Structure 1
């Protein structure tokens, strides 16, 4: 994988304006619509000039143009393909870092020489979970390369994922955690609004940052498309909700105490939060409240647990949370059913509806 052609470095946004007395070209870094930045009197291919260019461009490294047939060229073409561009934005964001790492390490090597042993070696230094995540990227890249005719056989297909211990994923919150968080964060804080929004909707943080009043229809249903799957979710917001949801007034009160914006989760400057920043911000808020090791995704799990304990069916839970399959939802209902069987309690899966929020409150 170390063989390959020489890289060609392309410096973007450079403008030439004559020559210095030394004979070197007088160069300026000037992206479209921005003020020009003078670069030093140095040969354009010198390390010092490249360093000045990187500084002027805000730390962006110059792009490398890999010749046809290299892994680097294959990665760039893959990232421009439907196979990559139709993925969820959150997936592309994670995968772009992995793909960039592949280009940096193996970009000069010919894609035709890629073998399973090379991919195994590329993953060997990572723990099991990160290695398996990167293997997914290699598999998608190689599968696309086969379909594009760049390689005859898929080398990633012969690489097996590593065995990993079962961790259960994100730890779910419990009702005591909710009470502790509510005690620590007053109803008029953005942290409290985030908690109530995440808990009631059961939305992933990638979707919660986009939720706003405009997504609530005239019948009082919050409707949105999931970033991860593209599936549509509908949650009763001020429409009557089934009894298994344990509807309360907390989200309504938090919204009434918050300033009006296009989305519910905003920064101190009134701007929408990014997914990564919102996730870190909310985890920090939980930690400040004394809740350790729990994330926003744990509230999504608690929403499913609450409904399962109150007798909701797997289909009802999946319709609310937007799960594409019933496998994960079934775990919540199975556990809840066992507890009801042992305790002798009956299911509260009722068609009775209880009001959630009033239209006036929104």
Structure 2
């Protein structure tokens, strides 16, 4: 059995631990982390991927260590610890998904870490979902974390019943991030000239359909001739795109110090979060009050309207579910069918015969014609 080291990147390359942090593999085949200077006292730290790690490390570094809370067997904290270190489902999540779920659970564990697992009944989970009803997306993500963890616990016979079964999510209708319009693209292009990092970033999302997380890491090493190939951050799906001449010209016209196509003003690669904040500011400068995800929506819509099918969209945008692609193809199909149907209705209405009048000028004219014929 291979023990996955959380101090390694997804690629398998080792991630350097902060100063004075040491890792140890326990007899339960679990990695644990300690802060220790020389031969001084050891202080247990959370997992480096845990949102609480940074605060605990800085406290230990400044001489005010915060001991990681002791985890008792049979509690929610104990289950979460096992789930994130032993579950293949968890290991299969992208780093972005793992980070999102850790942030959600960090808040849950603040008050519930030492509660026994049998306290988490169906009613308790439903209450947790209902508390988040004002932000339905957060309620859905909370339930997704609970279902992943308790579903795994049920299969491992850690709990007799999965308390997340039959949970009802709050209903809401939303189209998510509003899509960009062609006018938004024109406004952004007017504000940010060719040769700037912001212009290249926008065009990579529009013309190549890359997510912002992928734009922050894509570089020359991903381009061979006219083809750009990259494993997407969110789904892990590999996308291969033929770069149009306009985009190749933009890449060549944008100065950079390293391999990354889009760099900071200091010539360094962006972090994923840093890129999102930076790009939002550049959108504000252009008067575009929308997100980078809305730019991908415009790109996918244009592709679907141009005739791209569901599987073509999946390959272009790195989607793994055909239902995502059908959001765009069905919309285009409905538009086309609506236009075609309206024409059919108009033709059918045009074929309706106008009945002859029984009285009036028409009758008089007809009778007069008959008299003259005689």
Q: TM-score higher than 0.5 here? A: yes
Cα separation, 2, equivalents of 1:113 and 1:28:
34
- The residue that corresponds to 1:101 in the other structure is 107
- The residue that corresponds to 1:64 in the other structure is 69
- The residue that corresponds to 1:312 in the other structure is 308
Cα separation, partners in 2 of 1:188 and 1:117, compared to 1, 3 Å: same
Contact 1:196–1:251, Cα closer than 8 Å, also in 2: no
Q: CA deviation at 1:83?
A: 2.2
Cα separation, partners in 2 of 1:77 and 1:305, compared to 1, 3 Å: same
Q: CA deviation at 1:152?
A: 0.8
* Structure possessing the higher relative contact order (Cα contacts under 8 Å, 6 or more residues apart): 1
Cα separation, 1, equivalents of 2:44 and 2:328:
57
Q: How many residues align?
A: 297
Contact 2:216–2:275, Cα closer than 8 Å, also in 1: yes
Task: Indicate the RMSD between aligned Cα atoms, in angstroms.
Answer: 3.1
CA-to-aligned-CA distance 1:199-245 (integer Å, 9 cap, x gap) = 11111112222211111224x211111222221111002xxxxxxxx
The answer to whether residue 219 in structure 2 is matched with residue 212 in structure 1 is yes
- The residue that corresponds to 2:197 in the other structure is 190
Q: CA deviation at 1:179?
A: 0.9
Cα separation, partners in 2 of 1:123 and 1:339, compared to 1, 3 Å: closer
The answer to whether residue 258 in structure 2 is matched with residue 261 in structure 1 is yes
Cα separation, partners in 2 of 1:268 and 1:85, compared to 1, 3 Å: same
Question: Which moved further from structure 2: 95-104 or 175-184?
Answer: 95-104
TM-score by length of 1: 0.73
Q: CA deviation at 1:302?
A: 1.2
Instruction: Tell me the secondary structure at the aligned position of residue 234 of structure 1.
Output: strand
The answer to whether residue 179 in structure 2 is matched with residue 172 in structure 1 is yes
Cα separation, 1, equivalents of 2:44 and 2:326:
57
- The residue that corresponds to 2:169 in the other structure is 161
The answer to whether residue 332 in structure 2 is matched with residue 336 in structure 1 is yes
Cα separation, partners in 2 of 1:154 and 1:52, compared to 1, 3 Å: closer
Structure with larger Rg: 2
Instruction: Tell me the secondary structure at the aligned position of residue 284 of structure 1.
Output: helix
Of 130, 136, 155, the match for 1:124: 130
Instruction: Tell me the secondary structure at the aligned position of residue 233 of structure 1.
Output: strand
Cα separation, partners in 2 of 1:102 and 1:29, compared to 1, 3 Å: closer
Cα separation, 1, equivalents of 2:339 and 2:33:
70
Runs of 5+ consecutive residues of structure 1 not aligned to the other structure:
1-9, 18-25, 32-49, 238-246, 345-362
Cα separation, 1, equivalents of 2:185 and 2:34:
51
Q: CA deviation at 1:29?
A: 8.2
TM-score by length of 2: 0.71
Q: CA deviation at 1:340?
A: 5.1
Cα separation, 1, equivalents of 2:292 and 2:180:
9
